[in-house]
Structure 1
Amino acid sequence: MYDFAIIGGGIVGLSTGMALGKRYPNARILVLEKESSWAFHQTGNNSGVIHSGVYYKPGSFKAKFCRDGATSMVQFCQEHNIDHEVCGKVIVATNQAEIPRLESLYNRGLENGIEVKRISPEEVREVEPHVSCVAGIRVYSTGIANYKQVCFKYAEIIQNQGGDLRLNTKVLRIVPSGKNQILETNNGTFETRFLINCAGLHSDRIAKKGGVDPKAKIVPFRGEYYELTPSKRYLVKTLIYPVPNPDFPFLGVHFTRMIDNSVHAGPNAVLSFKREGYKKTDFDLGDFAEVMTYPGFWKLAAKHADEGIQEIIRSFSKAAFVRSLQKLIPEVQAEDLVPCHAGVRAQALMEDGKLVDDFLIIHGQNCVHVCNAPSPAATSSIEIGKAIVAEIPEQSHLATAIKA
């Protein structure tokens, strides 16, 4: 019998396990991951950015958790000697029409308590000499980190706390048993008093297995990247972002210097025909049919038809991808770029076609389901984990029996 069981060994599941062990040191904690390694999906294939929180709606979970998470993530990396750097970034307007949106972004940063500064094109070039723009803002708290190292350290801490970590263990069924829940897996059966679902790309399915309707469906979007050849890495010093379209859920193609000193360019964002589809050729009939028959997807597609078509064009045309990048750095040429790994974003979508634009955490009877935690979840992971644990009802059978 376990006091807590966590489904999902990505950065949110592991941070939650770590937070549980700190708050309930006498608890029996179980973490289940269906893959052979931690951080196998979203966490292990993301951009590695420590986000500042400048983009998110003031007062939202994303804004608070990201702002606080940028600080706690840097502290964690410092404490455990994990590769990271607080390098800052620039967000630039490439034409006059983008300046009002850049100004709105600057004001949002101030509202969210983030250190931002308006900078002129000349000041942008002092930071990023090869950028072409008409205005910019500097965001100082943005950084980069090795999130795989972070996850393995979280797992090590859980193990040192006495937690039980199980890889290669996929949850097949969730069966209620009185106040408890029984998890039937391909690797045995486990009983728990409290269940926490951090299954990422499959979080909506796990919620339904547990008898909870998240009122949203995970739709997978593949983010495709190119990488600058080593001889052209000098073009990017830190991170360079365009002004995003506030009506579109993605930030647009940008340049990111990674912690290994490589420079990634992208991503575009296209529908993946498989929830774990990292290649253009990946296809799963069940996953595809689930999206195609979901009314919310077609409402979203209709609303963002123009942007969606441009994303698809960039996916299949390197020339189109390069043209997008040249808006930021005109010197970039097609021969300077080589294909790089892709990531898949687990984006929750409502039936009315609205994207869930904040973290979605659903509380049930002796359970919590994290049903939308895309970027900036890695940055925010320590704060998300603490928040989940803090909201476990103190009046439940768990508190007095476990808390030391």
Structure 2
Amino acid sequence: MAQDRARTFGVIGAGIIGLAVARELLHQFPDASVTVFDKAPKVAAHQTGHNSGVVHAGLYYEPGSLKARLCRRGVALLSDYARSRNLPYEACGKLVVALHPDEHDRLRTIYQRAMANGVPDVELIGPERIRQLEPNAVGTLALHSPHTAITDFAAVTRALADEVRTAGGQVRLNTHVIDISLSDHGSTVTTTHPNDAGPCTEEFDYLVSCAGLQSDRIAQLAGGATYPKIVPFFGQYSQLEPAYRQILRGLVYPVPDPAYPFLGVHLTKRVDGEMLVGPNAFLSCGRENYTGWRIDAADTLDVVRSQSFWKFAGRNIRTALREFAGVVSRKRFVSGATAYVPKLAAASSKLIPRGIRAQAMDAHGHLVDDFVIEHLRRATFLRNAPSPGATSSLAIAEHIVATLTDAHNL
């Protein structure tokens, strides 16, 4: 029995959430054996290593939702962790800017949500205060979130991996999970590795999957539900030329339009001093197609065969056309930001490797907004962890491990 020996835990995924889970397991069960699997050759190889680095404060999320609760807890844990490990972390602040009066009601709704979520020190400010905070920005009304921050999530993930290894855990890279079998007593995981002659099978008392872009497929290996299904959307950023690095002190975002499923182009300061414009949002021809040139036929067919995707597409043709214009024209893409920062009109930029959202979609073609966790026997599958997933990573780990502990009386 598992109680008569050291418990064994398997964790699938060496992104920030998977390694946060492994770390939390070792904190709660110091004598346990914890093994992390990832098919990539390095940690943070996918969503964790392809984002802007924004630490979200919790402005937008439905009060009481898992997102809202774990984001606020995650910010506190992440800021403490970054500082304790001497990792980059800067509370540069953020403005969500309304350009026109018809956006004011939506902005006030965001303010009310932020207050309900316990976001500290948020306030609505007018044009004069906007200019004081961001001399190069314009707007008729803005929400100021002074504690919104930036970090390097890949650096945080590397620190988590080091901590897992130091505590006795294993992080096995280049290891592809190809099958999972569940029983009442645990999980059997089959993997392949380039250096192995054939597949390797291991048994674990408990299994946790944080597989990001492959989360639905990993869950289905174990008999998980068909939905939510991952549909990949790429987000392309442009990096402004060096002369524009100091054009903003913090972050400037548009007011989200509920008619569109994505946030829209914004300006993001990075911890290395670079200033980014983006991202757009468009269907990716591959779950890991970061260059845009390599089309993954299997991933693409998986999307186009999905009835839920076509239901989604039928409701969002206007959004697709708008986003496609930004995909084919970098000038048009960057011009969206000049409405908020007019001095960007003459700026040049270069494209950087895109990020890809693991966007979960339900059977009716609706984007799944909240975090989704599926439990099957002694296995736990994180099925949806969109933004603020990285911000919330340490809190998600706490939640998953606490749930697992309670469910199995550990």
Bin of the TM-score, shorter chain as denominator length: over 0.9
Structure 1 residue corresponding to 2:269, chosen from 257, 268, 271: 257
What is the correspondence of 1:5-404 to structure 2 with a 5 Å cutoff?
5-115=10-120, 116-176=122-182, 179-187=185-193, 188-333=200-345, 335-394=347-406, 396=408, 399=410
SS of the residue corresponding to residue 342 of structure 2 reads coil
Distance 2:82 2:68 in 1: 21
Distance 2:353 2:136 in 1: 25
1:68-110 Cα offsets, whole Å, 9 max, x none, are: 1111111111111101111111110011111111111111111
Give the superposition deviation at 1:278: 1.3
SS of the residue corresponding to residue 344 of structure 2 reads coil
Q: Kindly indicate whether the alpha-carbon contact (under 8 Å) linking 2:16 and 2:157 is maintained by their aligned counterparts in 1.
A: yes
Which residue identity lines up with residue 36 of structure 1 in the other structure? P
Distance 2:182 2:54 in 1: 39
1:232-278 Cα offsets, whole Å, 9 max, x none, are: 12212110101011343321110111000000110000000101011
SS of the residue corresponding to residue 77 of structure 2 reads helix
Give the TM-score normalised by the residue count of structure 2: 0.94
Q: Kindly indicate whether the alpha-carbon contact (under 8 Å) linking 2:94 and 2:251 is maintained by their aligned counterparts in 1.
A: yes
- Which residue of the partner structure matches residue 3 of structure 2? none
Distance 1:247 1:319 in 2: 24
Which residue identity lines up with residue 206 of structure 1 in the other structure? I
Which residue identity lines up with residue 83 of structure 1 in the other structure? P
Which residue identity lines up with residue 170 of structure 2 in the other structure? D
Q: How many residues are treated as equivalent by the alignment?
A: 398
Give the superposition deviation at 1:395: 6.2
Give the superposition deviation at 1:200: 0.4
Distance 2:405 2:249 in 1: 47
Which residue identity lines up with residue 32 of structure 2 in the other structure? A
Which residue identity lines up with residue 89 of structure 2 in the other structure? H
Distance 1:137 1:174 in 2: 47
Structure 1: stretches of 5+ with no match in the other structure: 400-404
Which residue identity lines up with residue 363 of structure 2 in the other structure? E
Q: Kindly indicate whether the alpha-carbon contact (under 8 Å) linking 2:182 and 2:378 is maintained by their aligned counterparts in 1.
A: no
Of 387-396 and 217-226, more deviation after overlay is shown by 387-396
Give the superposition deviation at 1:30: 0.7
Which residue identity lines up with residue 161 of structure 2 in the other structure? A
Q: Kindly indicate whether the alpha-carbon contact (under 8 Å) linking 1:2 and 1:191 is maintained by their aligned counterparts in 2.
A: no
Q: Kindly indicate whether the alpha-carbon contact (under 8 Å) linking 2:184 and 2:377 is maintained by their aligned counterparts in 1.
A: no
Structure 2: stretches of 5+ with no match in the other structure: 1-5, 194-199
Of 204-213 and 313-322, more deviation after overlay is shown by 313-322
Distance 2:214 2:223 in 1: 15
Give the superposition deviation at 1:393: 4.3
Distance 2:108 2:58 in 1: 16
Distance 1:140 1:70 in 2: 13
Q: Kindly indicate whether the alpha-carbon contact (under 8 Å) linking 1:54 and 1:112 is maintained by their aligned counterparts in 2.
A: yes
* Structure 1 runs of 4+ with >4 Å offset: none
Distance 1:143 1:128 in 2: 16
- Which residue of the partner structure matches residue 402 of structure 1? none
Change (3 A) 1:278 1:334: farther
SS of the residue corresponding to residue 346 of structure 1 reads strand
Instruction: Give percent identity, aligned residues only.
Output: 38
Give the superposition deviation at 1:178: 5.8
Distance 2:211 2:236 in 1: 22
Give the superposition deviation at 1:67: 1.3
Give the TM-score normalised by the residue count of structure 1: 0.96
Distance 2:128 2:349 in 1: 27
Change (3 A) 1:357 1:178: closer
CA RMSD of aligned residues (A): 1.4
